[in-house]
Amino acid sequence: MEILQNVLLAIIVLTSLLAVLLVLLNKGKGGGLSDMFGGGMTQSLNTSGVAQKNLVRLTTTTAVVWALSIAAYALTMRFAEVAV
């Protein structure tokens, strides 16, 4: 059970970092952080609607995997045997 918890914790950390990066890369509606940090990288992505849709899908998928990993980690913590 401890190995599963460690794997889930690694997935949570990786998806957290990836989610932050992807959110910053998304096209901003009114400027802000996406223009400040990811503006140079997204200039080429803004020309294609398909690329922007794929970036949004990847961001959403990452957020779902992150949430499911947290739920699975919580379940493993709840049902783990307590060593006395």
Q: Whole-structure pTM over 0.85, yes or no?
A: no
Q: Which two tokens stand for residue 81?
A: 């045997």
Q: What are the residue boundaries of the structural domains of the chain, listed by start?
A: 1-24+48-83
Q: Is residue 30's pLDDT more than 70?
A: no
32 phi, psi to nearest 5 deg: 85, -150
Residue 26's pLDDT band, with cuts at 50, 70 and 90, is confident
Q: Is residue 37's pLDDT more than 50?
A: yes
User: What pLDDT sits at residue 27?
Assistant: 74
Q: DSSP assignment, residue 82?
A: P
Q: Is residue 47's pLDDT more than 60?
A: no
The closest of 66, 30, 33 to 41, measured between CA atoms, is 33
User: What pLDDT sits at residue 84?
Assistant: 43
Residue 50's pLDDT band, with cuts at 50, 70 and 90, is confident
Distance CA 55, CA 59 (A): 6
Distance CA 54, CA 46 (A): 12
